[in-house]
Amino acid sequence: MSFQHSILDSMMSGVLVVDLEGRVAFFNRTVEQVLRIRFDDWRGRSVQDLARIAEPFVVSKDEFLNTIGWLHPPYEPRRSQELEFRAGDESLWLREDSRSLRDAQGNVIGRLLVYHDISREKAIDRMKTEFISVASHELRTPMTSIKGSVDLILSGFAGEYSADTHELLEIAQKSCDRLIRLINDILDLAKIEAGQIRLRVEHLPLAEAVHRAVQSVRALAEQNGVRVTLESQPELPLVAMDKDRMEQVVTNLLSNAIKFSPPKSTVKVMLEHHEHGVQCIVEDQGCGIAAEDLEKVFAKFQQVGEKKKGGTGLGLAICQALVMEHGGRIWVESELERGTRFIFRLPPAHRSVGAGA
């Protein structure tokens, strides 16, 4: 065995090379442990045959071949995906990184695939999500009671009190509201990540949820001196959506846009036809987002740019998760000092939720 082969066999990740005809050209020993497959005597044979020995983690040959990435087009530059295989109550989670393999002259000669067993990381992440969910539930009950008591005192239920006491109670009220919003956001995200979110899907016009969201932020917009407008193209197709959850998405996007908009500016909401469904655009005239920060905007607990406005840092992460649950996609376009556009797209009602857009 060569020195290079010894290094590859000592790696913690599984390595597999498939040639242009779909035959096994090279593998290290770790890939056998990661994929639960014995590769002895398989060198030079088609990966199609591997499905026959991939039990117990593969439900069927077709599922295995359609999911695993060694049948990706060899000329595709690179791809990364997470894969889950189940056998009874046991799950095997893999992260697969693959890319085309080239010789010294730059010719594509096959595909390199690297497999990492991330089952432990997924289990830890699941436990973390469950802990956050339980802790948030336990916090919400006493916080609701505290807020209710403060609200009653402010309403005069407990009698008169001094101006200084009133000021302190208002501070406590605002802090309670902020903490309850944070708890609710954490619970929402925990449910989505745990796959416990249940959408009440109906075939409805997206404009219905958008209009309600616009109405719900009117007071915030007036308080900030911002105008909100809604433009909609006629005869838009229906979409399959949970109207309350979609209203939540648009409200989050609008609230975010209003917070980052200067006084006397306009936040525009536009509904448009698209070949893959209906597209909603929320456009502001705010400070914008730097190009290097665009990929961070949907991350949890992230607030990008220099002009941070407070908040939980979870709103956009929740928006992304909910849009994806509806089978859609969401993205952002922005230029510094020129404003920001958040765009999401939902498939038409005749396509099933989860089909993508």
pLDDT tens digits for range 281-306: 999 998 888 888 888 888 876 666 55
The pLDDT tens digits of the residues spanning 244-281 come to 999 999 999 999 999 989 999 999 999 999 888 899 99
Place of tokens 């979110």: 197
Query: Parallel, antiparallel, or unpaired: how do β-strands 227-232 and 266-274 relate?
Result: parallel
pTM flag (> 0.85):
no
Compute the distance between CA of residue 357 and CA of residue 355 in angstroms, rounded to an integer: 7
CA distances from 116 to 35, 96, 113, 159, 356 (A): 9, 7, 10, 65, 26
Percent residues over pLDDT 70 in the chain: 80
Domain 3-117 in this protein, CATH class: alpha beta
Average pLDDT over residues 301-314: 60
Task: Specify the fold of 202-346.
Answer: Heat Shock Protein 90 (3.30.565)
The pLDDT tens digits of the residues spanning 45-84 come to 666 666 554 554 444 445 555 555 555 566 677 778 787 7
Say yes or no to pLDDT of 357 above 50. no
Greater pLDDT, 88 or 225? 225
Compute the distance between CA of residue 326 and CA of residue 202 in angstroms, rounded to an integer: 11
Say yes or no to pLDDT of 119 above 90. no
CA distances from 13 to 5, 29, 50, 292 (A): 14, 9, 19, 30
CA distances from 174 to 139, 178, 180, 327 (A): 17, 6, 10, 36
| For the chain, domain boundaries | 3-117, 123-193, 202-346
Architecture of domain 123-193: Orthogonal Bundle (1.10)
